[in-house]
Amino acid sequence: MHDENIIEQHIDISEPNRSAVDWLSASTNLSKQIIKQTMTKGAVWLTRQEHTQRLRRASRKLNIGDTLHLYFNPVVLATEPPEAILIADEKDYSVWYKPSGLLSQGSKWSDHCTITRWASQHLQPERSAFIVHRLDRAATGLILVAHTKHATKALTQLFQQRAIEKTYQAIVLGHFPESPTTLTIDKPIDDKHAISHVSLIEFSEQRNCSLVSINIETGRKHQIRKHLSLSGFPILGDRLYGQEQTFTTDLQLTAVSLRFTCPITGEKRNYRLAQQLSPRL
């Protein structure tokens, strides 16, 4: 059902030297104050020639031939982002604890609930922020945010080259096999090669749940969640692949460590999440 409060509007600019706020206030019933807040939260876009990007500066003058895009959803814009925790500020990039509900990537409707927007607004001094890898919305844990184009490219290449060692922990239903060696799951995902290595940390007989450690060789979408579910050990709180669970908790999947050689300084980096932020039985 269409929500009459949702506004999607595209305005072709036909007059010079008028601001985006003026154009949008003249084309909608929204006040200038609300429009400015909407711009700050990333729901206004500007197309100039062949380039389209978010427009946040309310006073920016537009040119004839520009196109202004408004994606106003009051429910989305009213959402408050959960608080991320800064783990390390390396200037060119930073490491954060991403809580459940904070997004890795925004949409056309806003980006104010993303880790990049949080980082750009809460670091001192303030910096631009670029995503270099992702965590599921419901997942928690360590995530890297780049602050220069050079760092973005260098860190992205490390992920593509699988030169960053990522370790996850999850609480799964059932008694995961106790084995002196790590269990390798190599079931294809979406017809693509996928490999996960899983080992038992602890089993709770009372809860019939296991705490496991996971390393992945490939980065398919929802790989860990799918592999564990397909193996008969769905992650607790997984509403997509959790099989027949009674959902009383959030997804119990956390990125607990990142290890790599810094592409800027050449130094070894090893970030590990504090115990109180890691999954516990």
Residues annotated as catalytic are: 136
Closest to 203 (Cα-Cα) out of 234, 224, 241, 172: 172
| Closest-CA residue to 252 (of 219, 217, 207) | 207
Virtual torsion, Cα 80, 146, 192, 247, nearest 10 deg: -20
Q: How far, rounded to the nearest angstrom, does the alpha carbon of residue 94 sit from its chain's CA centroid?
A: 14
CB atoms within 10 A of CB 79: 14
Among 47, 3, 11, which Cα is nearest to 28's? 11
Whole-number Å distance between alpha carbons of 198 and 170: 10
* Beta strands 67-72 and 44-48, pairing class: antiparallel
